A and B are shown apart, each in its own frame.
Chain A
Amino acid sequence: MIISVASGKGGTGKTLVATSLALSLKDRCRVQLLDCDVEEPNVHIFLRPAITGSEAVCIPIPRMDEAKCTFCGKCAEICAYHAIAVFPRNVLIFPHLCHGCGACSYLCPETAISEEGKEIGVVESGHADGVDFVQGRLNVGEAMPTPVIRKVKDLVNYEGISIIDVSPGTSCPVVESIKGSDFCLLVTEPTPFGLNDLILAVETVKKLEVPCGVVVNRAGVGNEKVEEYCLKENLPVLLTIPLDKEIARLYSRGVTLAEGMPQWRGNFTELYNRIQELVDERSRCLKR
């Protein structure tokens, strides 16, 4: 079972939920926690894992053999990202614009283009306290997180429960992270910003046809509109975490709810049970 934890708005408690869920389930079955927020990965702060493996993430970028190149301009013409410019006597390649699609090297009539890897990030794996851990880190100055996210997701272990911590927003990195999940938890807060971004996040998971449920964090802080929206849209609110200074203080020190307030473990196992029920129910419906 793959459960992704997303939110739309940043700072609503995705990592808090993902880490505590993982730690609450680890005695029950094999649990893997994958940090797909590769721009700002934070799970490691809470799990303090021992890293045992590390692999660079490279995207293939073109390399021109100028001895073979006839400066025909075909590569520049087909590159949708304007990553190649061909002049009468030389060729310029802009690696930061390249998406690594491979069209130029395949289509070059002179086979003058080969590919070389350009490192844009790293994927690290390890263990923490009985939980399998994987994270991606985008290198500073690099613009494209999705290839790093894909590499993280290549390491999903389909046997147990895999929990994916997603970055905020609704654009390509979020889609890449959620895609293929059995369920998506949307963590929000009961404020106008929380609601606005929850609505966008719900649209995103609907487009991906992934079933979802809501976790309301910092309950009591704003107004009732998030709950009203969930009721209206028939979105199950699966867990409510109150606004609590002690929780905020624990979080600030990098301590999960499952460790700092072990009484919460039961709530997280219950959260998982409800997700399981919803996923089972859906697969029964789909079979019919």
Chain B
Amino acid sequence: MKEVVVLSGKGGTGKTSIVGSFAALAKSKVLVDCDVDAADLHLLLQPVIREKNEFWSGQVAEINEDKCTQCGLCQELCRFKAIVDFRVDLVSCEGCGFCAHICPAGAITMRENLAGQWFISDTRYGDMVHARLGIAQENSGKLVALVRQKARELAEKQGAEHIISDGPPGIGCPVISSLSGASLALLVTEPTLSGIHDLERVSDVCHHFGVPAMVCINKYDINEINADKIESYCLNQGIETVARIPFDNAVTEAMVQGVPVVEYTQNGVSHKIEALWEKIEQSLKK
């Protein structure tokens, strides 16, 4: 079983539209949405939730006002500035528990934190594992690790060939969590200076964690000079550029209809994405 994760560094380059199409093209797979704090894949795949679970993670401090003597030690020692006027700012609290350990009045306790939910769903294309991190919650990396683990278990049970994973933007904790141990990272970029800058950082992250990467230049015709620059950068880095996909409003039209673009139209974009999936499949066989 091989796992391909789609990343980009910069947001809005087309990761989810491409993963949605892979869902329709790949034969034997489990789908997973690792963008747990702004998930969109469900808008293309229309999952029907089969199993709903709570994600409890970390703790938050709670001050018992009756016991608190307002000595101020917790406020002085908290490095996250999470205690203000003898109240816990739940958004800033990182759950370290330092305050609970040092409170001379024993007024602070730590309570478990409900950080989100995760789901196993049926889609027309097979099983999908996805999640919803609570608003302003931490530990997105742990939730990503959890959905990936559930996807692996499902894939093993079903004997699925692939896990196809829609990754988050950026290079931080949820990205590292989506990437570690994956078979291949497909990096979707766009021919803008921001796209190039962010591609370089995310491809460094792939290199850092030893995951082989391939690049797809989406909307390449917005700036063909930049598209060529990306290809030459990739060549120098020993990364294969596996697709150049043109800008086409059909991608947005398909999104409005709530279907993968390869099912919406049979034009150039769809052919390019089909060829891209074939290349990925072949490279995963190696």
Contacts from A to B (Cβ < 8 Å): 8-12, 15, 37, 39-40, 42, 45, 78, 80-81, 99-103, 106-107, 138, 140-145, 167-175, 179, 191-193, 196-197, 200, 203-204, 207-208, 221-223, 245, 248-249, 251-254
Contact = CB atoms under 8 A, between A and B. Distances in A.
Contacts of A223: 256
Contact of B96 (A80, A171, A245): A80
A170 B13 contact: no
Given A106-B77, A193-B16, A249-B222, A170 B133 contact: yes
Contact of A78 (B8, B101, B197, B205): B101
A10 B191 contact: no
Interface in B155-198: 168-176, 190-195, 197-198
B101 A40 contact: no
A9 B11 contact: yes
A145 B255 contact: no
B170 A39 contact: yes
B170 A40 contact: yes
Contact of A193 (B37, B40, B223): B40
Given A102-B98, A171-B138, A253-B223, A11 B91 contact: no
Contact of B194 (A45, A78, A103, A191): A45
Contacts of A248: 222
A122 to B, nearest CB: 13
A199 to B, nearest CB: 10
A192 B191 contact: no
B79 A100 contact: yes
Interface residues of B, number: 62
Contacts of A103: 96-98, 101
B177 to A, nearest CB: 8
A121 B197 CA distance: 17
Given A140-B205, A171-B133, A207-B91, A101 B37 contact: no
B56 interface: no
Nearest to B95: A80
B172 to A, nearest CB: 5
Contacts of B12: 9-12, 168
A229 B256 CA distance: 15
Given A196-B43, A253-B223, A171 B258 contact: no
A254 B194 contact: yes
A254 B97 CA distance: 45
Contacts of B226: 252-253
Nearest to B12: A11
A40 B10 CA distance: 7
B38 interface: yes
A171 B140 contact: yes
B193 A254 contact: yes
Contact of B80 (A42, A101, A138): A101
A208 B91 contact: yes
B50 interface: no
Contacts of B141: 143
Contacts of B77: 102, 106
14 contacts: A39-B171, A40-B170, A40-B194, A80-B96, A138-B172, A140-B171, A141-B176, A168-B12, A168-B38, A169-B38, A170-B37, A221-B249, A252-B222, A254-B192
Interface string B193-216: 111011001001100110000000
B169 A197 contact: no
B136 A141 contact: no
B102 interface: yes
A145 B37 CA distance: 15
B123 interface: no
Contacts of A170: 37-38, 133, 135-136
Interface in B244-268: 249, 252, 255-256, 258
Given A45-B193, A192-B43, A207-B91, A8 B38 contact: yes
B137 interface: yes
Given A42-B197, A102-B77, A169 B135 contact: no
Contacts of B16: 193
B9 interface: yes
B94 interface: yes
Given A11-B12, A11-B169, 14 more contacts: A9-B11, A10-B12, A10-B13, A10-B38, A39-B169, A42-B193, A80-B59, A101-B94, A145-B170, A192-B256, A252-B195, A252-B223, A253-B192, A254-B192
Nearest to A189: B12
Given A141-B208, A208-B91, A192 B258 contact: yes
Contact of B40 (A39, A78, A172, A197): A197
